[in-house]
Amino acid sequence: MTDLLKEKNLRDIYIKSRAIPISRFNIFFSLTIGLIFFITIFISNLSISDGFNKINDLSSFLFSSLLSTLGFLIAGYTIFCTITPLDLQKKMINSIDSKTRLPFFKKVHFIFIRVFIYFLIFSFFLFIIFILKDIPLDLSRTGLSIKTTNIIYKYTNYSILTIIVTSTTFLFCELSSFIFNIYNSIATTLHWLITNPPQDKNK
């Protein structure tokens, strides 16, 4: 029972949640989409100005969208916490998952909270881009040639765009898993209530 209060912050929860494997499909699919996108912009020879504009548009749009989605995630997590019977939660605390060596209570909650953490990390990444995007950076002052400077600008834009696309795809995949976990939690709760009906105190 003392292990239940062992985590003191989100960082501790994230470190412990790493014992829970991430879906291989989510990783593979996200990296594949990112690779296809990088190859596409590389072949199309996306200009520096167009790359910057895409970064500007995507970071602004995604930042506001992620904050709205985060509200939906919190609502879904609240539903899960509300409908789960106390007896079932106590049972989950005392049951250990053989693969992760975590109590089922922590495993289930860590899966939900880890999605929150992914959203917060990516939102912070977009926030940094949003802050830095209008800061003038003239690499030519460092003595680099114009050609070298343009190559750095160009492939920096390519890298940032690829990271944004890959991360967004991964979050979409994690969001689909999050929705399934809400359904699964409801189904588990109903199964528990059917197989363990509340006792009538009047009997």
User: How much is the average pLDDT of 20-27?
Assistant: 92
**68, part of any domain:** yes
User: How much is the average pLDDT of 59-73?
Assistant: 86
**202, part of any domain:** no
Q: Is residue 202 predicted with pLDDT exceeding 80?
A: no
Range of the domain at 144: 23-190
**60, part of any domain:** yes
Averaged pLDDT of the chain: 86
- Quote the number of domains for the chain: 1
**49, part of any domain:** yes
pTM: 0.85
pLDDT digits (tens, 9 = 90+) for 128-185: 988 887 777 666 666 667 788 888 888 989 999 999 999 999 999 999 988 888 888 8
First-to-last C-alpha distance (Å) of the chain: 32
**15, part of any domain:** no
For residue 143, is it left (φ>0), alpha (ψ between -120 and 50) or beta? left
